[in-house]
Structures are given as structure tokens and as C-alpha cells.
Structure 1
């Protein structure tokens, strides 16, 4: 246990992963919570009058050990979990919820915070300090500090139940993902599937002592299957299996969890004086309220829908002409889109993959960051890691000073959840005159190397890596005083700007020349491929936009008004109808595995992907205007966006960088919708 509660005796104070035993966690949480409580008690019992320093700053730096422990434990629970770890998560989550409620509902602590807040007009505070004060006060008022005792108790009960429900929801989705496999013994059934995907499936079968090929719902296995396999019935089986995760009336079913989570979120919002969960969430977003979000989604829907319907008609006609398909179904989408893309652009992922060896792409991301922000990444082998696949890097500035520690974890495995994300093991902050540097990680699920081939990425995976790397830069380049305002601690609809803007470099010849080299010959990707990549970037963009909007609309349907949901499937179908193109699949329900909004933190926030696309299209237009590696623009972006975290309102930071508010036209133009 002591390993987790004492100062780490490691290089750069990095997490001592290999020394941690599962049995260490729960006692460490109990001890760290007790220590954090003592720190809070010290603030409350301070005989001096409340000041910004002895109350607000002291509160922001309290619970440092607990925060560090929580980040290690919950990050590993996503990237390297097991049944025992999930059991510990179920045991410690209520303890953490209770502790955060103890703080949020502590009247004596709130009195001190409120005393400082009430004096704010007479205090001489920097913008960052004023933001911190506002955030601390709202942290209490938005979490029940103004409630009576009876309602405070109700709030605690709701929060405890929600914490457990969200964990259970995620565990069910992971279990359903792990429980499915498609075992194929007849090679003819795999006609159309690229060799790399086939080889991976064969390796997987071998690891399970099976003949033939095994496919799972992990993205690197699932996506090539539904994109390339000619056998329509097998594509259908695979697509339906993916779409019915936790919607099978079995022990891992999430329908009741969805209903209960939605119900409790509304109750919680009402208790705190808000009309709905969305009203509560959006108060702390750039978008401000549900009406503005719905107006934004509907406005984009109106502009994208005609293009999407036209594209869908084109795809339907193409499928009919090619294979006599009368009705395009969901399991046909990726397959015929890829075929049509090949026909129109003579470009497919298999043609491009040899130019996107994982190591080269990662180095490309590093080089882009170096050219823009003057930092370099040096791989090191003396920093502890939680799995042999993880790579560790020191990030250095132009004078060889340490900027950050960077972890990269790229391949799927049992115990690692699907998808891609960035996270942090230690935040950046300034304390006692020392600028503590952050430890940042990106986690993805790319096709692993095989016996004959290195890990070769699809172009979509290339943009995914750059996207997560953009989030990482937001963490790595953080330069704020207070931990709670550092790095990605920004409004949720601003957090995707640094990640989404990075994807733009993947389409630029000047950037591609840095890393898109054939893994066997070293030849730089041919110019005509680059032109086709750019041309095809807006291919079926109307349909892709409609799909994203449908997710945002579903999210708002659940959270923007109080309601009783009798039937999750029927509710979902009705909500998404306005943005649907494909016929409904009776066996499938997205809500039961829509982890972003039911397990993650995107409830009432899914719109932010599109919102951030407007920001990133407008911001990148500025780079294009001045040059994609223009130092002056890059420095403005670094100093006003990447390093500033949540120290100011996002729109103010954006205007300092851009000189104006973002314009939606930049996105519509890039997407070929105008």
C-alpha cells in the first residue's frame, strides 16, 4: 500500500506501475481520502479570516495524493483491467462519491469560500485567479451547497447510485464486446478481406487454439470485416452483433441502466434548481443552454440533410448497379462506401496502408509538433510502464528542459476498452515556485504487427492518432498555476479544438512528406495519392455529418427535458428519425452501448464534436492563410489556447488567438456542403 501513498521514488516522479499490486489500491484509497479530509479540516479550522490564498488556493491543492491515485487506478481500469480491478472500482467509487459530496456539501467550507467570493470586487486578482474563485464557488453551488439538509441527503444518494450505474453500464458493454466472436473455417467466406486483416484474424484464432479465423467486435477486427467482406450475410451478422451490445435481455443488458441514469440525472438537476440535466451541464459550456445547442444541431442538419440524402441515393444506385441490392442496409454502408470511393478516387485503405507504418506516423506527429511548437520527443526505456506494449518518452524544449512525460499505448488486448482516448497521470501546476510538469498518455486500438508485417494504419487511424495527439499537446504544453485549470480542464465544447485541429495536418502534402513513407521502399507517398486523399476527405461528408448530428440529437433527447422512458428502443428510434437514412434494425439499439454519454462525460455534450469542428475549421483556415507551419500563428495558438487551459472563458481565448469569433462557413466549405 505504501507505494501508492508515499512520494514515488522514480524518475521524474512517474507512476511505479510494476510495483503496484491490486491489493494495494483499496487501503491506499482509504488512507488518501483520510489525508484529503485532514487537509480540508485544516482549511476550515484556520483561525485566520478566509482569504484567496488560505481558502481558495489551499482547496485547489488539497487532495493531491488522492487525485494522483485516482488517475492511476481509473486510467488502468480502462487500459489494463481485470475482474478483480473492476470489483475494486465498484467498492471505491462510492467512497470517492461520498468524499466529494462531503466536500461539496460542507457548510463550514462553503462559508469560507462564499466569504472570499462575496469580496471578489474588492480583491486584486489576475484573470486566472478570478476564474479559479468563480469555479470554486460554482463547484459548491452547482453541487448542492445551497440546499437544505434533507435535499443534501437526497443529492448524496443520487450521486452514489449514479456512480455505480455508470460503472456497471461500462462493464456490461466491455463484457458484451469480449463475449462475441465470429469463428470462420471456410476461407471462401472471407473473399474481399485484405491480407493484413486476414492474418490478424488467423493469429487471433491460433491464440484461442482454433482453426481458421476469428473476428471480434474490437474495432481493428470489426471494421475491415464490414468494410471488405463480400459475404453480405456475414457482414449482417457482424453488424447486428455490434449493434445489440447490452440489448439482449441478458445479465449484461443496459436498458434499465439507461432509464435509471436518465431519471436520476433529471432528478439531480431539478433538485439543484435547473429545468433539466442539459440546462445544468450547459451552464458551464460555450453553448450556454439547450436551446442554443438544439438550434446549432438543427441548423447544421438543415444544411447537411439535402447533401446526405443525395449521397445516400447515389450509394443506393451504385449498390443496385453493382450487386442488384434493392434496399441499402446498415451492414452495407461501409462496404459500398469503400467500393464507391475506390471507383471515384481509385483509392482504398489497402493502397494507402503501406505508407502509414505506425512508428512513422507517430514520428510524423512528433515532427509536426516540433515544427509548430519547438518541442521534441525522446524515447526512454527507464520509465516504468503498465504493459510491455506501452512506449515512454521525455518531451523536451529547445533548451533540453523537460516539458512533460508522454506514454503511448496502441494495440487492443483483453482488459482494454475499445476506442481511443487521451488521459493524464499527473497534471501540470506551479507550487512553491516549481513548475510541476505533466505526465500524459494516449491510448488507441490499432492493428498490431503480425509475423510478416509491421502495424500499418488505415488513413482513418492516422487521423485518430493525430486527434489524440492533439489532446495530448493540450496537456503537455499546459502552463497554469492551479491544477484544476490546467491542460484539458476546459469547457467541454472547447476541449476538442486542440485535437480536431491536429487532424488537418494529415491532409497537407507538406506534413505528409514528413512521415508518409512506404514501409518497404521508403518512397514518400505519391502526390496523386495526396490529392486523392484531399479530394476524398469530403466524400459522403453529408452522410457522415448527419450521423454525428443524430448522436447529438439523441443525447439531447435524453437530457434536455424531464420524461419517463417506457421503452429505450422506441425512444431512440423516434429521437433519431429526423436524421436517419438507413432502415431501422429491430435487434439493435445504440443507447445501450453509447458509452460516451452514459459512462463517460459527454451527456448533453455530444454536440461538442461538431461545435469543435466549427472552431477547428475556422482556426485551421488561419494557418492555411499564413502557412501551415507558420511560427507566428503556431505561437499564438500555443500561448492563447494550448498553454492556457481553463484560465479564461474559451471564447475570449479563441478571439485572442484568431482576432474574431469562429464562422460556421469555414466548416461547411471544408465539408463541401457549400
Structure 2
């Protein structure tokens, strides 16, 4: 949600689709060539950690491997369903955990690459295979015989003398079958299958339109004066982006959010408005990339699906197994933040307006006749000036101390070493899917190999917006696999020969995504379904947001915040300014994120009887209803480019970024109360939380570790939305 809360760290479509990928429809290999031993997915990779052999994988390898994986997964699950032996934990529940390994192997890689480095060929494969994967999931979860076996094990669970993790798996599996519609009659199952297929196709269509629309909507100019205010490095990057596209002049690609980073510096107001409009209308241009009809139908399909499954709306269906449990609970939580957030945003707006009026005083015939009301494209530009005036802090002063590679190794890795004893060694012998990607082997405190970690930080036109983490290989002692994780972001790539200097917001993104990485790397569970980040959405963001705190922790900060030329530490007065300004503009940031979360919730609480919505009218009414329709504070994501909720698994779940900030701020308060950055604290957190995945009830897991139930007070304090007495 806020500046340090949400980095579009979706645990990637790779995670959501691979989860569906472990579940199936039949289909003989077709359209992608024969599948056999020459296909790199045919057998487990021989590379360390079973890392993907990207040096051998061709675009043409994916489709036949996916098709063969679908067929194999279906055959394996049908064999479990048809087993004449009485159902047991081993021959049913464990057997399902072992099924679908080929499909897992290929889909984890395929969806990772299509998110980060796609092309026309891969998009066509995705178009073809997405509905087949959705149908595969239905073929498993709606299999009457298979569910009957699961139910028998579930009904007998109290007598089976299972260990706690195995018992948890039985309960999770049973609930997933029921949630997926296993108890529906055959006629309703047939209807559900059609809805699921349409949902999958529409989601994939949305993602492809958004990628194309975002690329096409990049800000383009041949007039260098339009870029006034940008640094030489930013102008060079825009020049390089234009050259890479074969376009004259300058190109500034869009980020996934409504607001664009360069709006903070561009002094030409007309250019700012043009860039903002490019962002705001990227998928609302009545062209092939317009997503409005797609999402309106998608919302309708989801509402219809929820009704079929016995729920009043899609959010109620989604949240039944999340920490919030109900849309009403999530709504109540969000409502409690609206008042403090918008009040602060309005006071920030008044400061900005006063500055605008002061700067324009005397222009024309009136005292402030040359002034204007602050608009969204003005906010960041003037907020930065207010920040400089209040805190004497200029972003150009800060960036030279944040060189990306140093932040990674002397900041992100250093904090992990201090907390958990981890060490890292770059592996240049591990093949990658794109030259910018770096790979590190991660070693535990005892020197044993723990995981492999990939880092892909620079923006490309063929990369989805935002930042995220997922796995190429998941951890499981049952399958004898160790984790292979990746972090992806969209930082501006420097011109050749120039250092990658990033903002403190980007630094925080790196810590955030690595927090997800730690959740994946520390996984220590028997069953893959319960491992690592396989948790509810309103828990999974907790480890990542918690890890953000170490970015500004003094002992960590001074270790990486060194000038890229001289190696000198950041001066104490500059450090103090960053700390003092940390809560600046939080009213805006919380409000824009709440607006997005409310759009998500209101789209997904529509009843099945609702008509096909006019997207723009619905959006305006939805924000007005919850007192978040502030002209100068647009939602962080507009409905028409809200990738999280339409294609990345966060439908009815975007509130999770706020919810988990409550968890992470309470957790950091615990660390502060118990000595801060210590191995003892880190090891306890790792043992009781980060390593456990979804092997326990998460409310109980968290409260047992914390020693109490979390409250919202530390969150409001951290955001600066209440007076903390300082």
C-alpha cells in the first residue's frame, strides 16, 4: 500500500498459474513439436539446485512440454482417483503432492519468463495453454472419485495419527476441493468449467492488452525542452530508450502505477500533463489495447461463478480461507484508515497549493492570478519542492549513495547475514534468460547450500510492470528439492558505462522483494503445497514488508549507503534528513493505495445480477462511495490497468498490502523491543515463521511468535498518521 508497503511485488503470475498448473485437462502434445528426451524439460535439470537450463531452452520447447505435462498430470491424478485400494493419506494426499512434476517444472519457468522477458511466440503459447491449464485444474478438483477419496481421508483425519504438517495438508486439500466446487452437482460443475475457462482467457487477454498498451503509451517527444528538470542521466536513458525502439528523440517508458517517477522532476507543466495522460489512458484509447470491455466482463464472470458456488459475491468466495475471512472484515479494516489518510492528504494538498500560489503570486493582474489548482500531474513535482523546503533534501543528493550492486550486496545481503547468518556467492556459470540477470548461490550459517537466487532489476519493454518474486523450483523435503527463487523489478537502466544509481524508494523495493525471497529460501516443509510463499494473500506480504525495515536500520544503512565514486559514507546530516522526511507525503501514498484497494473490493463485491458495468462510471461511483474520490489523488492503479486484480491473483486481495503492514509493523516493534538486528531474533523469526509456509493456522503462527495479537497502532505510527509524540 504505502510508499514502503506495495511494490507490485505480486508473487507473480508464475506462482498463481503454476499453482493451477499442478492441477489439469487432457491434451496430446500439439502445435509445438514432438516432446521427447531432447526437450530440456523432459527430465529434472542437472544444474545445481535443478536450476532451469536457459542455455538449452528454446521458445519452441515450452508448448510441447506444457502439453505433455498436462497429459501426465491428468493421468497421474486419474490413477489416484481410480485406485481400487481404500483411500489413505499416502495413496491419496501424498500421491497428489507427487503428481504433476513435469508440468510444475515447465510452468514455473514459462510463467516466470513470460512475465519478465516475453515475446510474440511466448504470448501465443500462453494464449493457447492458459485455458487448458484452467481446464486441468477443473479436471482434478471437480473429479467426483478423487474428491470422494480426499473426503474419506479428511473425515478420518482424527484417527490417522498424522503429524501436524500432514494433518494441515489434509485440511488444506479438502478445503481447496470444496472451494473449487467439488460439492456441486454435475450440471453446475459443467457451468463452472465454462466460467473458469472464460476467466482464464479474459485474464490472459487483459495481461496481453496491458503489456502492449503500456508500451504504446510511453511518453515520446523530440523536443528536449520538454524534459527540463530531468538529470543528464535521465535524459540519456530516455535517449537510449528511443534508440532501442528505433524512434527519434526521447522515450520514457511507463511504470505500472498511475504516477510516474519522472513527474517529480519535470518542470514543464504541459509535458507533465501529457505524461500523466499517457499513463491514465494507456488502456482506454478505444483501440486494440483497450481493456475496459475485458474487465467488465471478467467482473461479471467472477460474480456469476461466486453465485454458482453459493456465495453472494466473488470477494466472499475468495476471502473464506484468507486471514480476513470476509469482505466485511477487510472493508472495516480499510474504512478505519480512510479518515486519517485523507485528512493527511488534504493537509499535504494545502501545503502544495500554498507553494503554487506563492510561486505564481504577482503574475498577471491579481495577487495570485497566474496560479492554478494542483492536479495529479503537479503533485509529485511540487511535493518534492515542499519536501526540499521542509527537510532540505534533494533526491539528487541521495542517489549517488545508492549504487544498485552495492545496495544488493552490502545492504540486502548484509542484513540477511546479520539476521540469519546467510552468505552469498555470485554464480556466473548458471545460465540466465536475459543478460542483465545475476545469479547468487545462498549458503546457510553452517556453510551448507540453501538456495539459488536470480535478480533481474532493469526495465524492458517486454517485461510486466512493477516488481515481484517467485520460484523456478520450490522447496520440498518430500521431493528432495531446494528453492530457486527470483526477484524482478523495473528500475531505470543506466546508459552504457554509467552506474545504476537508484532512489531510496527503489532501495526499499529491493529489500521488500528479498523479504519474499527469504520466505521462499527458508522454506523447510515436507509438502510442496504448503511450502514457502504458498500462503494466503493477506499473509504473504508480511515477510516482504517486514524486511523493508532493515533498509533504514542504522547498522545496515551505513554499511551500504556509500558514495559510488569515493566510497565515503553518507553524511550524518543527510541521513538525518532522510529519516526525518520518511513520513512525508504519506497521506497521499496511503490514500492512493486505499483507493486502489477499494476499487478492487467493489469490483469483486458486485452481485451476479449486476449489469455489465461502464468501467469509468463504476470507478467514479466506487471511489465516491468510500470517500476516496479526491481529484488530486488518483488511485495507485486505475481499474483498466490494475494488473494485480485482473491477472495476477490479487482479486479481492489488494487490501492485503495494508493488512500485512499491520502485521509487519507490529513485528518490527517486537524486534525493537527485543534488541533489534540480532541473530537470536532472526533465527527465532526464521524458525517460527519464515520456514513454516502454510503448515499451521497463520493467525496462531503469528500470534505465537509475537506473543500477542497485532494491533493497528504501530502501523499508524510508522505511517505518521498519528502523533507519536516526537
TM range (shorter): over 0.9
Tell me which residue corresponds to 1:325: 371
Tell me which residue corresponds to 1:497: 542
Which has the higher mean CA deviation after the structures are superposed, 483-492 or 121-130? 121-130
Mapping 1:559-638, distance limit 5 Å: 559-562=604-607, 563-577=610-624, 578-582=627-631, 590-638=638-686
For 1:116, which of 128, 145, 153 is the aligned residue? 153
Q: 1:153 deviation in Å?
A: 0.5
Note the alpha carbon deviations across 1:424-449, whole angstroms, 9 max, x for none.
111100127x4x21100001111213
Q: 1:595 deviation in Å?
A: 0.8
Note the alpha carbon deviations across 1:135-162, whole angstroms, 9 max, x for none.
1111111111111111000000001111
Q: Secondary structure in 1 aligned to 2:451?
A: strand
For 2:170, which of 133, 136, 145 is the aligned residue? 133
Tell me which residue corresponds to 1:13: 50
Which has the higher mean CA deviation after the structures are superposed, 195-204 or 162-171? 195-204
Which has the higher mean CA deviation after the structures are superposed, 326-335 or 34-43? 34-43
Note the alpha carbon deviations across 1:451-505, whole angstroms, 9 max, x for none.
3521001111100111101111100111011001000001110001111011111
How many angstroms apart in 2 are the aligned matches of 1:361 and 1:171? 33
Note the alpha carbon deviations across 1:227-266, whole angstroms, 9 max, x for none.
1111000100010110112111111111111111111111
Q: Secondary structure in 2 aligned to 1:445?
A: strand
* 1:415 correspondence with 2:462: yes
How many angstroms apart in 1 are the aligned matches of 2:257 and 2:617? 31
Tell me which residue corresponds to 2:692: 644
* 1:532 correspondence with 2:569: no
Q: Secondary structure in 1 aligned to 2:393?
A: coil
Alpha carbons 1:312, 1:581 under 8 Å: kept: no
How many angstroms apart in 2 are the aligned matches of 1:555 and 1:205? 35
Alpha carbons 2:219, 2:278 under 8 Å: kept: no
How many angstroms apart in 1 are the aligned matches of 2:290 and 2:224? 34
Note the alpha carbon deviations across 1:109-151, whole angstroms, 9 max, x for none.
1111011111122222222112211111111111111111110
Q: 1:554 deviation in Å?
A: 1.0
* 1:454 correspondence with 2:454: no
Tell me which residue corresponds to 1:196: 233
Q: 1:589 deviation in Å?
A: 8.8
Q: Secondary structure in 2 aligned to 1:647?
A: coil
Alpha carbons 1:220, 1:445 under 8 Å: kept: no
How many angstroms apart in 2 are the aligned matches of 1:556 and 1:421? 22
Q: 1:220 deviation in Å?
A: 11
Alpha carbons 2:49, 2:451 under 8 Å: kept: no
Task: Give the direction of change, closer, same or farther, for the CA distance of 1:553–1:477 in structure 2 (3 Å limit).
Answer: same
Alpha carbons 2:546, 2:664 under 8 Å: kept: yes
For 1:405, which of 452, 465, 485 is the aligned residue? 452
Q: Secondary structure in 2 aligned to 1:59?
A: helix
Note the alpha carbon deviations across 1:603-634, whole angstroms, 9 max, x for none.
11111111111111110011122233122221
Q: Secondary structure in 1 aligned to 2:115?
A: helix
Mapping 1:250-649, distance limit 5 Å: 250-323=287-360, 324-363=370-409, 364-431=411-478, 434=480, 436-562=481-607, 563-577=610-624, 578-582=627-631, 590-649=638-697
Q: Secondary structure in 2 aligned to 1:287?
A: coil
Alpha carbons 1:244, 1:590 under 8 Å: kept: no
The alignment yields a C-alpha RMSD, in angstroms, of 1.9
Alpha carbons 1:184, 1:213 under 8 Å: kept: yes
Q: 1:302 deviation in Å?
A: 2.3
Q: Secondary structure in 2 aligned to 1:377?
A: strand
Mapping 1:117-266, distance limit 5 Å: 117-218=154-255, 223-266=260-303
Q: 1:221 deviation in Å?
A: 13
Q: 1:184 deviation in Å?
A: 2.9
Q: 1:575 deviation in Å?
A: 1.0
Tell me which residue corresponds to 1:75: 112
Alpha carbons 2:533, 2:540 under 8 Å: kept: yes
Task: Give the direction of change, closer, same or farther, for the CA distance of 1:214–1:303 in structure 2 (3 Å limit).
Answer: closer
How many angstroms apart in 2 are the aligned matches of 1:560 and 1:585? 21
Q: Secondary structure in 1 aligned to 2:385?
A: helix
Alpha carbons 1:5, 1:32 under 8 Å: kept: no
Q: Secondary structure in 2 aligned to 1:579?
A: coil
Which has the higher mean CA deviation after the structures are superposed, 9-18 or 532-541? 9-18
How many angstroms apart in 2 are the aligned matches of 1:610 and 1:297? 8
How many angstroms apart in 1 are the aligned matches of 2:259 and 2:230? 11
Alpha carbons 2:477, 2:527 under 8 Å: kept: yes
How many angstroms apart in 2 are the aligned matches of 1:624 and 1:159? 46
How many angstroms apart in 2 are the aligned matches of 1:646 and 1:208? 44
Q: Which ranges of structure 1 fall in alignment gaps of 5 or more residues?
A: none
Q: 1:585 deviation in Å?
A: 8.8
Tell me which residue corresponds to 1:673: 721
Tell me which residue corresponds to 2:705: 657
Q: Secondary structure in 2 aligned to 1:4?
A: coil
Task: Give the direction of change, closer, same or farther, for the CA distance of 1:3–1:105 in structure 2 (3 Å limit).
Answer: same
Which has the higher mean CA deviation after the structures are superposed, 38-47 or 338-347? 38-47
* 1:4 correspondence with 2:41: yes
How many angstroms apart in 1 are the aligned matches of 2:158 and 2:485? 37
How many angstroms apart in 2 are the aligned matches of 1:589 and 1:461? 19
Q: 1:584 deviation in Å?
A: 8.8
How many angstroms apart in 2 are the aligned matches of 1:208 and 1:665? 49
Alpha carbons 2:595, 2:634 under 8 Å: kept: no
- Give aligned pairs, total: 671
Task: Give the direction of change, closer, same or farther, for the CA distance of 1:136–1:198 in structure 2 (3 Å limit).
Answer: same
Which has the higher mean CA deviation after the structures are superposed, 255-264 or 618-627? 618-627
Q: Secondary structure in 1 aligned to 2:490?
A: coil
Q: 1:56 deviation in Å?
A: 0.8
